[in-house]
Amino acid sequence: MAAAAVEGATVSALRSVLQRVYKAADRCGRPYDGVRVVAVGKTKPVSLIRQLYDAGHRCFGENYVQEILDKAPQLPPDIEWHFIGHLQSNKAKSLIAIVPNLDMVEGVDNEKIANHLDRAVASMGRKPLKVLVQVNTSGEASKSGVDPTDCLELAKHVKLGCPNLRFSGLMTIGMPDYSSTPENFRTLSNCRNEVCKALGMAEEQCELSMGMSSDFEQAIEMGSTNVRIGSTIFGPREYPKRAQG
């Protein structure tokens, strides 16, 4: 398939996703502009991201530090970049330095990385960085994120102990196949209730980032304010093939 045709299909896929987001929000009586769609371009070329940008989309995400470091400088500076998933503390400084338009980190899963990000933001003299605390709602050892019982302490550390970070809410990855269940969503919502009560925050100030390609409509109906959509917009991920022999 020609590149132009693929790119056209990507824009059409984004528009389809946005329509599904609007309908899901409408079903539960929520304003459609209360849900952010992060287009996650993992393994995809800059050209496809640029096509979505030219179509009017501004919020993009990446899961790997090297990918966002490579792509962000090649794209317009008004993109709102989200880094999604576990971030190694030794990568925090380069992420902040090379991506000045980094809008949010989803998510911080321990105090060490929060402290590294806080210092990196301070050293660059940029505005406070929005962060979400990552919660392991599925209880899998292979998943990053704090246990729900430890969520409040980490949120408190970010909000009160990291002046260069802005605690903006909570996020979760979900199950092994990267789908979630009502139980995952409910757990994250319960964590938000606890955090907001303890920190004196209104629920509207505490985002819930939950829902991906396979379950974002259900996530919206259960309160998600931020959905992370990759393959439904961009198509299947394209990982390098391993050499044979």
pLDDT in tens, 58-83: 999 999 999 999 999 999 999 999 99
- Characterize the bridge pairing of strands 36-40 and 59-62: parallel
Average pLDDT over residues 22-51: 95
**210 contacts 181 by C-beta, under 8 angstroms:** no
| Rounded distance between C-alpha atoms, residue 169 and residue 72, angstroms | 24
Q: pLDDT grade, residue 143 (50/70/90)? A: confident
Is residue 180 over pLDDT 70?
no
Is residue 182 over pLDDT 90?
no
Residue 244 has what pLDDT?
41
In terms of Cβ atoms closer than 10 Å to its own Cβ (0-12, 13-18, 19+), residue 200 is: exposed
**163 contacts 118 by C-beta, under 8 angstroms:** yes
**Domains of the chain, residue spans:** 3-234
Is residue 130 over pLDDT 70?
yes
Is residue 241 over pLDDT 60?
no
Whether the full predicted model's pTM is greater than 0.85, yes or no, is yes
Is residue 220 over pLDDT 90?
yes
More confident of the two residues 163 and 7: 163
| Helical residues (DSSP H) of 127-205, grouped into ranges | 151-161, 182-199
Q: pLDDT grade, residue 222 (50/70/90)? A: very high
Is 3-234 CATH 3.20.20.10?
Answer: yes
Residue 7 has what pLDDT?
56
